[in-house]
């Protein structure tokens, strides 16, 4: 009888496979939704956004950052395992303002389809952002103005509270703590840059990531490449920058951890100035490496290292 | 941190077919559709010795996209696709005009037309759309891992899948139908244009039609695999099939088989190495091509060597096993 049954319907094997597939899928879903002890899984794009989510969520969330140390978010290409993480995440957090390039369009469509996806810069008043070009676009490197980045905390806290109402108090308390901590950090940075004489507050970097830093802490920022790293600098840009460094007597230039240093290195040699060292621009450092007491894999460690490097290079 | 992730049988071979079917499986399906559509068209390109036409068309899309952006100011898929197909067809016309009305041979004409248009696109973007999120990169590289994240298209209660998958699916079905409808015309005008013209087949129009369809296939495939890898998917299935058989219908079938096997092997490879799925499937496709080259019963390296050895050893008596 058995052979007859199978012979009659060649699709049985296929159907069995399909049933097995649904069983796996269903059990995976069950495992994810069972019990409140399971952490909220958050998938963040950059290290800065991941650090923000960890700060607000604490032990209640498991955060994964797609882009590791030294990765350039403008050029990032997702891998197959990123896709799995993005599909599984309860909440997707990204920087927004087109930092993530084309990934942002997918995120926006995903958000409209009902998934929990949020750009951390969404809540910011657009008037506080630096405009670029003419088409209502803004500079995405918001995290370098620490005060502005501290204002992104609340939006993330609201998302987490909506996902896990039971931990509302915990998220609120942590968010308040984190904001205070970053406002202190902002105050520290302002005090630190006071060591640099006004006339020497010129920051020359590889790409235009430090606009907010310049505005917040009183630096003129000049970069070899534009806001995004996708367009290479032309020859005219390079000579112009060399002349600028010479005439203004800029003491040091700075390379970035996530951008190739070749172009700026040539300008540095042509202009005959020293290298102020490597700054973190679009990615955090390697977790575990220290700057004083601060982990370079965290936002605070990144800001402190950058400010110290800049001050020491220019003063 | 190691360069190559640790090999896990469960993760690499089982999960893509079970728990990860919605992600890895879907990516493999998209790759298959690209390979199947482009592969079918590629067979005829290879016959016409126009394999590099795909290269030309895929590169000339950049100025089309840039022009569409400058004219409409939108980055919507409709305007972009229209501009891309328009530019691709312009390239084809330009190649025809150059090769027909000058002493330049078609291969050189292809080289002139597409590199000029690509350069024009780079200049256009640098001059007009500077500081805007539009660049060579979005044409040259696809975003395959982003496709399964897109919200699904629904018709009635039926969930069809992400929009790019639906578009590619329609295109593939369309390609199969067009092939069935115009098979005789395509085959004759590819093998012997002179004879085809004598028999009253509009050889020129068939050629223009094929190029237009190629342009549409290439543009639809961009989103998934990008302009560079699409060239590989255009040529590899047909080339592999041509090593396996000399008849046209089996060739077309083999190129579909090649597309499927490349997509599947590419999926496992990309999971094992955690790399770009599009790149992995092209590497896998090249691997299958190499296999066909070495083992093909018609003119493969090893069977040919075996036959030569048997012939020279004289008399098959001592050799067992045979063909």
Q: What domain count does chain A have?
A: 3
Residues A176, A240, single domain; the answer is no
pLDDT in tens, A105-125: 889 888 888 889 999 999 898
A187, A208, A224 - which closes a domain: A187
Say what the pLDDT of residue A2 is.
Answer: 44
Residues A71, A122, single domain; the answer is yes
pLDDT in tens, B73-124: 766 778 888 888 899 889 999 999 998 999 998 889 988 988 898 888 888 8
Distances, alpha carbon A115 to alpha carbons A32, A80, A92, A105, B271, in Å? 16, 20, 8, 14, 25
Residue B271's closest chain A neighbor by CA?
A80
Residue A8 pLDDT > 60, yes or no? no
Say what the pLDDT of residue A45 is.
Answer: 94
Kindly indicate the confidence band of residue A6, based on its pLDDT and cuts at 50, 70 and 90.
very low
For residue A135, the chain B residues in CB contact (below 8 A) are 132
Q: Taking CA B251 as the corner, what is the angle to CA B247 and CA B254, rounded to the nearest 5 degrees?
A: 140
Residues A178, A107, single domain; the answer is yes
Report the run of H or E that residue B155 belongs to, with start and end: strand B153-155
Residues A47, A183, single domain; the answer is yes
Question: Does A45 contact B at CB distance below 8 Å?
Answer: no
Residues A44, A180, single domain; the answer is yes
For residue A77, the chain B residues in CB contact (below 8 A) are 141, 143, 145, 276
Say what the pLDDT of residue A5 is.
Answer: 43
Residues A159, A74, single domain; the answer is yes
The span from the CA of B260 to the CA of B279, in Å, is 15
For residue A112, the chain B residues in CB contact (below 8 A) are 151
The span from the CA of B216 to the CA of B210, in Å, is 10
Residues A26, A52, single domain; the answer is no
Instruction: Give bridge partners of residue A220 from the DSSP assignment.
Output: A202
Considering only CB atoms, B151 lies closest to which of A75, A109, A226, namely: A109
Question: Which of B223, B211, B229 has the alpha carbon at shortest distance from B167?
Answer: B223
Residues A49, A147, single domain; the answer is yes
Question: Does A314 contact B at CB distance below 8 Å?
Answer: no
Q: What is the CATH number of the domain that holds A170?
A: 3.40.50.1980
Residue A29's closest chain B neighbor by CA?
B19
For residue A20, the chain B residues in CB contact (below 8 A) are 18
Considering only CB atoms, A80 lies closest to which of B18, B136, B271, namely: B271
pLDDT, mean over chain B: 85
For residue A231, the chain B residues in CB contact (below 8 A) are 126, 130, 135
For B31-53, b/e burial (b = at least 16 CB within 10 A) is bbbbbbbbbbbbbbbbbbebbbb
What's the whole-model pTM score? Answer: 0.78
| Domain that residue A134 falls in | 40-187
ipTM, 2 decimals? 0.72
Residues A27, A66, single domain; the answer is no
Helices (H), chain B: 9, 26-47, 53-72, 77-101, 106-128, 137-140, 163-191, 193-198, 203-244, 248-273, 277-295, 301-313
Considering only CB atoms, B150 lies closest to which of A28, A75, A106, namely: A106
Residues A279, A221, single domain; the answer is yes
Residues A118, A14, single domain; the answer is no
Residues A61, A175, single domain; the answer is yes
CB contact under 8 A, B274 and A79: yes
| CATH class (in words) of the domain with range B9-309 | mainly alpha
pLDDT in tens, B53-73: 888 888 888 788 888 878 877
CA distance to partner chain A, nearest, from residue B302 (Å):
36
Percent of chain B with pLDDT over 90: 36
Average pLDDT for A97-101? 85
Question: What distance separates the 2 farthest-apart alpha carbons in chain A?
Answer: 94
């Amino acid at each position: 009888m058995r052979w007859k049954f199978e012979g009659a319907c060649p699709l049985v094997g296929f159907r069995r496979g399909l049933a097995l597939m649904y069983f796996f899928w269903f059990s995976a879903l069950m495992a994810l939704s069972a019990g409140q002890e399971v952490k909220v899984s958050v998938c963040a794009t950059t290290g800065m956004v991941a650090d923000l989510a960890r700060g607000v969520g604490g032990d209640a969330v498991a955060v994964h950052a797609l882009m590791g140390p030294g990765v350039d978010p403008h050029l990032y290409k997702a891998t197959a395992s990123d896709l799995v993480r993005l599909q599984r995440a309860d909440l997707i957090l990204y920087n927004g303002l087109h930092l993530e390039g084309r990934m942002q369009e997918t995120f926006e469509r995903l958000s409209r389809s009902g998934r929990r996806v949020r750009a951390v810069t969404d809540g910011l008043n657009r008037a506080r952002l630096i405009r670029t070009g003419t088409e209502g676009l803004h500079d995405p490197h918001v995290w370098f103005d620490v005060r502005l980045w501290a204002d992104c905390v609340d939006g993330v806290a609201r998302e987490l509270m909506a996902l896990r109402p039971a931990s509302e108090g915990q998220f609120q308390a942590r968010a308040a703590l984190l904001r205070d901590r970053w406002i202190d950090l902002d105050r520290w940075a302002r005090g630190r840059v006071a060591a640099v004489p006004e006339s020497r507050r010129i920051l020359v970097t590889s790409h235009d990531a430090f606009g907010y830093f310049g505005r917040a802490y009183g630096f003129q920022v000049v970069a070899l490449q534009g806001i995004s790293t996708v367009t290479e600098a032309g020859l005219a840009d390079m000579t112009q920058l060399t002349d600028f460094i010479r005439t203004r007597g800029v003491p040091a230039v700075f390379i970035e951890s996530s951008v190739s240093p070749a172009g700026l290195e040539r300008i540095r040699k042509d202009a005959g100035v020293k290298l102020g060292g490597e700054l973190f621009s679009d990615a955090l450092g390697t977790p575990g490496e220290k700057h004083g007491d601060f982990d370079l894999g965290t936002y605070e460690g990144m800001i402190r290292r950058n400010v110290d490097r800049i001050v020491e290079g220019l003063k | 941190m190691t360069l190559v992730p640790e090999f896990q049988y469960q993760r690499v071979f089982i999960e893509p077919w079970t728990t990860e079917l919605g992600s890895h499986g879907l990516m493999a399906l998209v790759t298959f559709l690209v390979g199947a559509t482009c592969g079918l068209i590629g067979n005829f390109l290879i016959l016409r010795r126009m394999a590099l036409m795909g290269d030309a068309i895929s590169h000339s899309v950049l100025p089309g996209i840039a022009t569409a952006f400058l004219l409409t100011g939108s980055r919507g898929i409709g305007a972009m696709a229209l501009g891309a197909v328009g530019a691709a067809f312009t390239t084809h016309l330009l190649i025809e005009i150059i090769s027909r009305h000058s002493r330049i041979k078609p291969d050189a004409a292809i080289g002139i037309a597409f590199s000029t248009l690509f350069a024009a696109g780079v200049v256009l973007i640098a001059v007009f759309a500077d500081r805007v999120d539009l660049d060579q990169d979005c044409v040259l590289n696809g975003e395959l891992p982003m496709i399964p994240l897109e919200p699904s298209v629904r018709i009635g209660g039926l969930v069809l899948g992400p929009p790019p998958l639906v578009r590619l699916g329609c295109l593939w079905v369309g390609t199969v139908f067009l092939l069935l409808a115009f098979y005789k015309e395509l085959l004759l005008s590819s093998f012997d244009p002179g004879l085809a013209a004598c028999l009253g087949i509009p050889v020129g129009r068939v050629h223009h039609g094929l190029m237009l369809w190629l342009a549409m296939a290439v543009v639809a495939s961009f989103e998934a695999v990008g302009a560079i890898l699409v060239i590989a998917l255009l040529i590899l299935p047909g080339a592999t099939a041509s090593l396996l058989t000399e008849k046209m219908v089996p060739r077309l079938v083999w190129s579909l088989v090649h597309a499927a096997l490349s997509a599947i092997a590419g999926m496992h490879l990309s999971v094992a190495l955690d790399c770009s799925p599009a790149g992995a499937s092209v590497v896998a496709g090249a691997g299958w091509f190499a296999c066909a080259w070495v083992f093909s019963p018609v003119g493969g390296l090893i069977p040919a060597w075996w036959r030569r050895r048997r012939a020279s050893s004289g008399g098959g008596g001592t050799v067992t096993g045979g063909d």
